[in-house]
C-alpha cells in the first residue's frame, strides 16, 4: 500500500530480551561487501543501521544527534557540550560516576564524544561479547 512506510517485525535481543523492530524488507548491498547489515527500530522510534563484520574483534556503536552548540540558549552557553559529558557521568543502569566508563574499559573498550555547531556525537568500542550490555 503506498504511503504505509517500511514493514518492521517485532524482535528481542538474545541476552537481555530488549524489544525492537527489525526491517522486514531487503537491503541493497554492494556485491563486494561481505558484512551483514540490518535496520532496526527501537521502542523510542530511533532507526538504527547495524553492521556485523565476522572478521572484527571488537564491536562499536556511534550515535549522532542533530543538535549542537548552535542550539544553546543564550543564557546557557555550553549546554550542549555539558549534556554530552553527562552521558558518561551515570545512567539508570550505571548510576555511579565513572561506572559506565569502567564497564567499557573492563571489556577492552574505548569511548569518546564531541559537540560541534550542529551535531553531538557519541562513540564506543568494546569486545564483541560486551556489545549488548554496553548498549543497554
Active site residues: 84
Phi, psi dihedral angles at 92 (to 5 degrees)? -60, -45
Residue-level length of the chain: 136
Which residue is listed with cell 551535531?
119
- Distance, in Å, from the CA atom of 10 to the CA atom of 19, rounded to the nearest integer, reads 7
- Distance, in Å, from the CA atom of 22 to the CA atom of 92, rounded to the nearest integer, reads 25
Phi, psi dihedral angles at 75 (to 5 degrees)? -85, -5
Amino acid at each position: 500500500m503506498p504511503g504505509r512506510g517500511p514493514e518492521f517485525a517485532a524482535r528481542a535481543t538474545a541476552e537481555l530480551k530488549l524489544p525492537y523492530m527489525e526491517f522486514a524488507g531487503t537491503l541493497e548491498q554492494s556485491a563486494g561487501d561481505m558484512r551483514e547489515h540490518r535496520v532496526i527500530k527501537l521502542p523510542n522510534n530511533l532507526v538504527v543501521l547495524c553492521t556485523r563484520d565476522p572478521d572484527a574483534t571488537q564491536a562499536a556503536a556511534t550515535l549522532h544527534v542533530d543538535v549542537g552548540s548552535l542550539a544553546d540558549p543564550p543564557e546557557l552557553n555550553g549546554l550542549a557540550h555539558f549534556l554530552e559529558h553527562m552521558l558518561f557521568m551515570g545512567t539508570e543502569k550505571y548510576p555511579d560516576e565513572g561506572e559506565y566508563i569502567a564497564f567499557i574499559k573492563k571489556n577492552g573498550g574505548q569511548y569518546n564524544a564531541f559537540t560541534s555547531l550542529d551535531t553531538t556525537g557519541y562513540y564506543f568500542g568494546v569486545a564483541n561479547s560486551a556489545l549488548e550490555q554496553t548498549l543497554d
